[in-house]
Structures are given as structure tokens and as C-alpha cells.
């Protein structure tokens, strides 16, 4: 998980909302099987798009304030933030090609 940064309730605003680049946020939890499936996909996207987009993970069990603020009810939820706003969001594990297709206009 070298290319992906971990964010928390305390660091979310600085690392995501104030970022000059688009940020892909995965809301996940340790016990979530589909979250483990999407992790290598996001790692590949983070590596391939380094410098153009940031990829971060937020553990929903450990960071309830941000989870509630963005009304994340199911995980994994993968959202793209740009300019401090959610511009795209998908639910569930997706293949790399599906995520790239879903996020093509922001990557």
C-alpha cells in the first residue's frame, strides 16, 4: 500500500478537501471482503496516476465523523473529490477497467 495514504477524521480536510489534485477516497473496514478485493485495484491506479491524482483510504470503523458527514452507508464506497466536493461516487468492488471508466472524466 505504498501509493495509497491513510486518512482519518483529523486529516481528511487537509488531505482530501484542500488537495490541489483530484482525490480518490475508499471508505473501507478491516472486516470487509469486497474492500480487500478493491485494494490492489486502487493501488494500481494510484501508482499509474501518481502526481495527477491522490488515492487515500478511510477506515469507517475508526473514523465515524467523516463517514457520517458523507453519508457512507455501505462499503466499499469509492468517491472522487475535486475542489473539496464529491464529483463521482461508486458502491462496491469494481475492476480496474470499470473504475477507470467510471472516473475517466476526472483522472
Active site residues: 32, 35
SS3 for 92?
coil
What's the grid cell of residue 90? Answer: 461508486
CA angle 91, 93, 94 (to 5 degrees): 100
10, three cell numbers: 483529523
CA 33 → CA 37, 65, 75, 103, distances in Å?
Answer: 7, 23, 10, 23
Amino acid at each position: 500500500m505504498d501509493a495509497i495514504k491513510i486518512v482519518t477524521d483529523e486529516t481528511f480536510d487537509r488531505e482530501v478537501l484542500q488537495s490541489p489534485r483530484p482525490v480518490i477516497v475508499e471508505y473501507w473496514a478491516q472486516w470487509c471482503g469486497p474492500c480487500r478485493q478493491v485494494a490492489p485495484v486502487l493501488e494500481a491506479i494510484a501508482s499509474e496516476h501518481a502526481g495527477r491524482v491522490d488515492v487515500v483510504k478511510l477506515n469507517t470503523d475508526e473514523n465515524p465523523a467523516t463517514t457520517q458527514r458523507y453519508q457512507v452507508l455501505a462499503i466499499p464506497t469509492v468517491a472522487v473529490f475535486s475542489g473539496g466536493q464529491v464529483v463521482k461516487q461508486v458502491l462496491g468492488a469494481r475492476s480496474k477497467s470499470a473504475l477507470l471508466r467510471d472516473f475517466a472524466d476526472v483522472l
